[in-house]
Structure 1
Amino acid sequence: MTQLSEQELDEIYAFAVGLGKRAGRLLLDGVNRRIDGSQEQAFAEKDNAVDIVTKTDEDVETFIRTAIQNRYPSHKFLGEETYSKGQSREYLIDEKPTWCVDPLDGTVNYTHLFPMFCVSIAFILDHRPIIGVIYAPLQDQLFSSCRGRGAWLNETRRLPLIRDRPMPSDAPSRCILSCEWGKDRRDVPDGNMYRKVESFLNLAAEIGGRGGKGGMVHGVRSLGSATMDLAYTAMGAFDVWWEGGCWEWDVAAGIAILLEAGGLVTTANPPDDPDTAPIEEALLGSRLYLAIRPAGPSKTETGRQGQERTVREVWRRVRRLDYSRPGV
Structure 2
Amino acid sequence: MASKIITEAELDEIYAFAVQLGKDAGNLLMEAARSRFSSNSHNASHDDEPATQEFTEKDSAVDIVTQTDEDVEAFIKTAINTRYPSHHFIGEETYAKSSQPTRPYLVTPTTPTWVVDPLDGTVNYTHLFPMFCVSIAFLIDGAPVIGVICAPMLGQLFTACKGRGAWLNETQRLPMVRQPMPKNAPGGCVFSCEWGKDRKDKPEGNLYRKVESFVNMAAEVGGRGGKGGMVHGVRSLGR
**TM-score, structure 1 as length reference:** 0.65
Separation in structure 2 between the aligned mates of residue 6 and residue 177 of structure 1, nearest angstrom: 38
Separation in structure 1 between the aligned mates of residue 233 and residue 155 of structure 2, nearest angstrom: 25
Q: More deviation in 57-66 or 6-15?
A: 6-15
Deviation by residue 1:75-130 (Cα, 9 ceiling, x = unmatched)? 00000110111222775212021100000010000000100000000001222211
Determine which structure has the larger strand proportion and give its number.
Answer: 2
- Counterpart in the other structure of 2:39: 37
Shift of 1:158: 2.0
One-letter amino acid of the structure 2 residue matched with residue 92 of structure 1:
L
Report if the CA contact (8 A) 2:166-2:174 is conserved: yes
Identical pairs, percent: 68
Query: Within 5 Å, which residues of 2 pair with 1:266-277?
Result: none
Q: More deviation in 106-115 or 38-47?
A: 38-47
- Counterpart in the other structure of 1:263: none
- Counterpart in the other structure of 2:48: none
- Counterpart in the other structure of 1:57: 69
Shift of 1:62: 0.4
Structure 1 residue ranges without an equivalent (≥5): 226-328
Deviation by residue 1:226-261 (Cα, 9 ceiling, x = unmatched)? xxxxxxxxxxxxxxxxxxxxxxxxxxxxxxxxxxxx
Aligned CA distance change for structure 1 residues 155 and 78 (closer, same or farther; 3 Å):
same
Aligned CA distance change for structure 1 residues 159 and 94 (closer, same or farther; 3 Å):
same
Higher relative contact order (CA 8 A, sep 6+): 1
Query: Within 5 Å, which residues of 2 pair with 1:176-187?
Result: 176-187=190-201
1:211 aligns with 2:230: no
- Counterpart in the other structure of 2:114: 99
Deviation by residue 1:248-292 (Cα, 9 ceiling, x = unmatched)? xxxxxxxxxxxxxxxxxxxxxxxxxxxxxxxxxxxxxxxxxxxxx
Match of 1:141 among 144, 152, 156: 156
1:157 aligns with 2:172: yes
- Counterpart in the other structure of 1:202: 216
One-letter amino acid of the structure 2 residue matched with residue 43 of structure 1:
F
Shift of 1:141: 0.6
Report if the CA contact (8 A) 2:52-2:126 is conserved: no
**Deviating 4+ runs (over 6 angstroms):** none
One-letter amino acid of the structure 1 residue matched with residue 121 of structure 2:
G
One-letter amino acid of the structure 2 residue matched with residue 154 of structure 1:
N
Aligned CA distance change for structure 1 residues 15 and 179 (closer, same or farther; 3 Å):
same
Structure 2 residue ranges without an equivalent (≥5): 41-50
Shift of 1:164: 6.9
Aligned residue for 2:182, secondary structure, equals coil
- Counterpart in the other structure of 2:91: 79
How many residue pairs get aligned? The number is 224
One-letter amino acid of the structure 2 residue matched with residue 148 of structure 1:
G
Shift of 1:168: 2.6
One-letter amino acid of the structure 2 residue matched with residue 42 of structure 1:
E
Separation in structure 2 between the aligned mates of residue 86 and residue 188 of structure 1, nearest angstrom: 31
Separation in structure 1 between the aligned mates of residue 76 and residue 160 of structure 2, nearest angstrom: 18
Aligned residue for 1:45, secondary structure, equals strand
- Counterpart in the other structure of 1:126: 141
Shift of 1:46: 1.1
Deviation by residue 1:190-219 (Cα, 9 ceiling, x = unmatched)? 222221111111111111122222111111
Separation in structure 1 between the aligned mates of residue 219 and residue 9 of structure 2, nearest angstrom: 50
Pairwise CA RMSD of aligned residues?
Answer: 1.8
Aligned CA distance change for structure 1 residues 121 and 90 (closer, same or farther; 3 Å):
same
Separation in structure 1 between the aligned mates of residue 237 and residue 157 of structure 2, nearest angstrom: 17
Separation in structure 1 between the aligned mates of residue 128 and residue 212 of structure 2, nearest angstrom: 30
**TM-score, structure 2 as length reference:** 0.88
Aligned residue for 1:60, secondary structure, equals helix
One-letter amino acid of the structure 1 residue matched with residue 77 of structure 2:
R
Separation in structure 1 between the aligned mates of residue 10 and residue 145 of structure 2, nearest angstrom: 13
Q: More deviation in 166-175 or 121-130?
A: 166-175
Shift of 1:15: 0.6
